[in-house]
A and B are shown apart, each in its own frame.
Chain A
């Protein structure tokens, strides 16, 4: 029995895409735990499966992808406002994607903010229409009440003049404002989990800073858990409490945010951190020939299946005969610090 504060448990999740060219194992055995009110950062390069993990959680994996095996357990929050016939523990993988139970969870208990604020909203309906729809779908309230709640939510995401903006179309808003509207839509039913999939990647830095700040304030107010997906380690350092690093569909390292940055164990995490240009260096050092450390090679193509550790062709610490032969298991190298690497086999 998991601890009380566990909200979602993902156990050995496999999500695959069967394509003409072969099978893409986008998510290849992911174990994760999301705790109530906490922020889990998921970081990795493009194609590592971080978005597909999130989509699996909402049962929104696009065809031809499907969940092959594994379990996603959602520990439902009991609410007075909307009693339903659901059990306290819901196995999301057992539900039909379009079933009533799944639709009740999606957008209500678990909601999502996408990367592109332009494509996440319908261009032909007003911002208000889209938020009100989400409210009336999940809560037993009338149109007028829903509109009031929508305005209230827009005010909470610091939308200027929410009474007027609610009747605007998405194209009338700037990128930052649109992302605020999308966040308002995601939060209007007070979800217990908000999945944020690169919500600030399409925004400018000053706008990004505003949105990150807003999300932290809203988390304090509403107490939801956040699963924050990004490729940007800077954003991870700002937002996350726990961090999971993904590579080729697997979590290679997972621990608290301080250990990830100050004491990374997996060679991939170490390589990622070393390859970011550091601002401080450019002030102190004026050496023109200074180079960034890189991870050699590149992410292999998604159809290939590597034996042993999937990172071994790029790994500087590769142990011949071990890493390319035996698949490493997750080990708790230090307390609360999980790593999938042979270097730490005892």
Chain B
């Protein structure tokens, strides 16, 4: 593909991505059903921007992120990516060698800084592993590259021979970021990179991610369950509920004028660091639907305060209700919902 196309189009485009995990029972491992972890998700990410992906546990946000790298093979759908070497490709159809190249361009940062680093490897081995595996550098050059990346994430290069146990949670997350950035990627899937950290450290890592984005021109898919963190770092935000996107808009638009009742409830539920009493928050009834046996129609209708008859009968479409604001709700155009802006008392 020509460079022209990749510059104008989005860097990454996900089309109708699905991942069904089979539920197997009995001696013969008969498939008795499917968990629809990701069920027809479509979005795009422009070069240099950050797309936030929020949702509660089990909504499929991590599966979406991993499917993009094909760390989990998707059931169906397309993942189009503009790679500098391969050109405009569909990640789901790449062969083994091409996949190797793609994973140089698309990298992943994990949530748990304790579980994601091998305790028996030094920083040189951990951060250098992708560089070596992809044949980018070896020997002295490899060490130089690792030193460079460690410095970039705010760690001293002298620490190269140390093991992960010598580092705190925040420093470990920096190591994970260094590992992701070592092969000089374009696109980074950040899977809850700050959820395991304390607030003061969380702020340091969020700032670091922003600085790195600016310096290296990175594009992020930022997966998190914490809305305020997502709001801080993202240009646009996608809200996911039981395997489907329910709303997608620019950060300012989404938080000021949410159009989906689930988004409104999520925003209302966040505990705010402000003891001033606020209006009664929306308490959702019941629990998140089971993705193996989802309700009829709109998956959110059993918990929705605005639900009408049509909601249990028909599944709403994911429609553009205003410029770049997509909502999957029958009443997306009509409802007037409260955003996160604090009401003056």
Indicate if the CB atoms of B214 and A286 lie closer than 8 Å.
no
Contacts of B272 in A (CB 8 A): 234, 237-238, 279
Residues A258 and B275 in contact in the complex (CB < 8 Å), given A277-B206, A283-B340: yes
* Complex interface: chain A residues within 8 A of B252 (CB): 282-283, 286
Interface centre among A177, A204, A231 (most CB of B within 10 A): A204
In the complex the two chains form, is A206's CB within 8 Å of B284's CB? yes
Among residues of B, the one whose C-beta sits closest to the C-beta of A300 is B168
A61→B283 CA distance, assembly (Å):
36
> Contact string, A210-239, partner B, CB cutoff 8 A, digits 1/0?
101100000000000000000111111110
How far apart are the CA atoms of A177 and B287 in the complex, in Å? 9
User: In the complex, are the beta carbons of B232 and A280 less than 8 A apart?
Assistant: no
A38: shortest Cβ distance to chain B, in Å?
14
Partner of B271, one of A234, A288, A289, A295: A234
Give a binary string over A231-256; 1 marks a CB under 8 Å from any B CB, 0 the rest: 11111111000000000000000000
In the complex, identify which listed stretch (A111-119, A188-196, A268-276) lies at the interface while the others stay far away.
A268-276
Query: What residues of chain A lie closer than 8 Å to B228, measured between beta carbons?
Result: 276-279, 282
Contact of A261 among B57, B232, B270, B273 (CB under 8 A): B273
Interface size class of A (residues with CB under 8 A): 35 or more
Given known pairs A278-B228, A289-B210, the reply for A45 and B342 (CB within 8 Å) is no
**Inter-subunit contact A298/B201 (CB<8 Å):** yes
Q: Does B309 contact A (CB under 8 A)?
A: no
Interface string of B267-287 (1 = CB under 8 A from A): 111111111000001011001
The reply to whether B287 and A176 contact each other, CB–CB distance below 8 Å, is: yes
Residues of A within 8 A of B152 (CB): none
A294 to chain B: which residues have CB within 8 Å?
Answer: 200, 203-204, 207
Report the Cα distance A231→B228, complex, angstroms. Answer: 16
What residues of B have a CB within 8 angstroms of the CB of A33 in the complex? Answer: none
Contacts of B270 in A (CB 8 A): 205, 234, 279
How far apart sit A232 and B203, CA to CA, in the bound complex (Å)? 14
Interface 1/0s, chain B 181-211, versus A by CB < 8 A?
A: 0000000000000000011111110110010
| Interface contact A291-B210, CB-CB below 8 Å | yes
Q: Does residue B235 face the partner (Cβ distance < 8 Å to A)?
A: yes
A122 within 8 A of B: no
Residues of B within 8 A of A205 (CB): 56, 225-227, 266, 269-270
The answer on a CB contact under 8 Å between A207 and B287 is yes
Question: Pick the contact of A283 from B229, B287, B339 — CB < 8 Å?
Answer: B339
**A242 to B55 CA separation, bound complex (whole angstroms):** 32
- Chain B: CB-nearest residue to A258: B275
Closest A-B pairs by Cβ, 6 of them: A234-B271, A277-B232, A275-B203, A282-B231, A209-B269, A204-B56
25 contacts between A and B (CB under 8 A): A45-B199, A205-B227, A206-B266, A206-B269, A207-B287, A208-B269, A209-B281, A210-B283, A213-B281, A237-B274, A257-B275, A272-B200, A275-B203, A277-B203, A279-B228, A279-B270, A279-B272, A281-B232, A283-B252, A283-B340, A286-B252, A292-B203, A294-B200, A295-B203, A298-B170
